[in-house]
Chains A and B, each alone.
Chain A
Amino acid sequence: MSHGFELKPPPGPALPDQPALAAVAKLLNLLNSALLKLSMAALVLTALVLTYSVVSRYFFQAPTDWQDEASVFMLVGVTFFCTAYVQSYRGHIGIEALAALLPRRVNLFRLFLVDLLSCLFCAFFSWKSWTLFHEAWRDGQTTSSTFAPPLWIPYAMMATGMTILTLQILLQTLAHMTNQPRQGEAP
């Protein structure tokens, strides 16, 4: 549903003006692009795993019972690992109908508020994900299937991804506060 399909590949997220923030932004971009590459591999691997389960059942009469859960874990990983990357390009869509109607100053304040609230929510979500991870780790929780993989794996991926996302939004909020005003452009 995104508009991401038709957009030309973006040149990379704009760096903040403030030097220290810019340095952190560069680091975060490196991390995001590493996670993106990992996720690309995981995506292809998932397609392979699901195909293998069909092939193995039909041609070798050896059905697999782990393909669904392995795929779920990998795709949960892909989703959360790349959510900060998507945010770095402001790729999480929202309704921007007001942007055209409000005066520039009000718009700037609105964007700041939106970022701040998003950041707080993601921070809260990250915290609760880490607690969930901790419980699953401590109690040795698994899924209830035959394959029974440990649940701390997807929980850890969720917690990590949400933490990086929180950092990403925090950085964008700080950049928003410190950037030099630009002519006719919403930061």
Chain B
Amino acid sequence: QSATSLKISHQFPGGTISEGDFRDRLSRMFAAEVEKRSKGTLKFEVYPGSSLMKTNAQFSSMRKGALDLSLVPLSYAGGEVPEVNIGLMPGLVTSYEQGYSWKNAEVGKELNRILLDKGIVVVSWIWQAGGVASRGKPIVEPEDAKGLKIRGGSREMDLILKAAGAAVVSLPSNEIYAAMQTGAMDAALTSSTSLISFRLEEVSKALTSGRGAAYWFMFEPLMMSKAVFDRLSKEQQAAIMAVGGELETFARKSAQTDDSLVAAVYQKAGAKVVDLSPATVKKWQAIARATAWKDYGERNENCAKLLMLAQKTL
């Protein structure tokens, strides 16, 4: 029997199995380990840096069975499946413990059910904290955001920033650097790993780090097309799910390493690095509850249910 070849697509910078962006490394480790355990009946090709298709096309292509696997922030598909916006709901997850507890909690089971229904299998649960890079003073308390031009990067974060009195800026991610440099934008929120790869420390004076407490947690799982998954043998399916689960430890450790690393990088570049206190996180959470959570919960019944279940893990 000839080997089945599967494609893993992601938008992050490409590297090797031992070096580079941990999300790319995870994809490569996954490929190598599954290939081994499936005794070579499954082979993989990793496509980093959106070299196969545009980021936004990945989710839909997986649903149709035209793409096999992808590691992508789940909320990017929010326009197609509104429920998935829960994957980037500020304040709803405030620690790695809590995020990873979803998998076996009711909220995780419900999210899994909804995604399966849409033709998607979650292979590996990956959470990542993020922070704020700013070209002026650090944005710690909600009041600090007032009057500044900030890129929230998602619908939910934008709603919160607006409520905090910030001017929300929308622009493509490849223009963030230039916009921060010229001052077209004052601050940007994104994951710790992306804060490093965008090299924003060169144009920033301050960083609000996501190490320790954070209100910005993003769910970016390794996902697989259900249509493709169903065609595989029981053994192959088992190998995929087992390796996916085992890599979660690596993902969590790497994400936390990057949370510290980004702080070190900014410190070295001469930027002021500030950590969040649990009390500050509570303040952001209060705004989120009144804006983004409410907006999400009112989308449909599934959303309301997911939100309710997620709050149980708080």
Contact = CB atoms under 8 A, between A and B. Distances in A.
In the complex they form, whether A and B have CB atoms below 8 Å apart is answered with yes
Contact of A144 (B56, B167, B172): B56
Interface residues of A, number: 19
Which one of B77, B79, B152, B167 has the highest number of Cβ atoms from chain A below 10 Å of its Cβ?
B79
Contacts of B172: 68
B175 to A, nearest CB: 10
B189 interface: no
Contacts of A62: 167
A146 to B, nearest CB: 4
Interface residues of B, number: 20
B78 interface: yes
Contacts of B170: 65-69, 145-147
Interface string B172-183: 100000000000
A61 interface: yes
A139 interface: yes
A8 to B, nearest CB: 38
A57 B79 contact: no
Contacts of B159: 146
B171 A68 contact: yes
A179 to B, nearest CB: 42
A151 interface: yes
Which one of B149, B168, B170 has the highest number of Cβ atoms from chain A below 10 Å of its Cβ?
B170
Nearest to A150: B79
A144 B88 CA distance: 12
A22 B149 CA distance: 57
A144 B171 contact: no
A89 to B, nearest CB: 31
Interface string A143-181: 111111001000000000000000000000000000000
A145 B152 CA distance: 10
Interface string B62-96: 00000000000001111110000000000000000
Interface of B: 56, 75-80, 147, 149, 152, 154-155, 158-159, 167-172
Interface of A: 57, 61-63, 65-69, 139, 141-148, 151
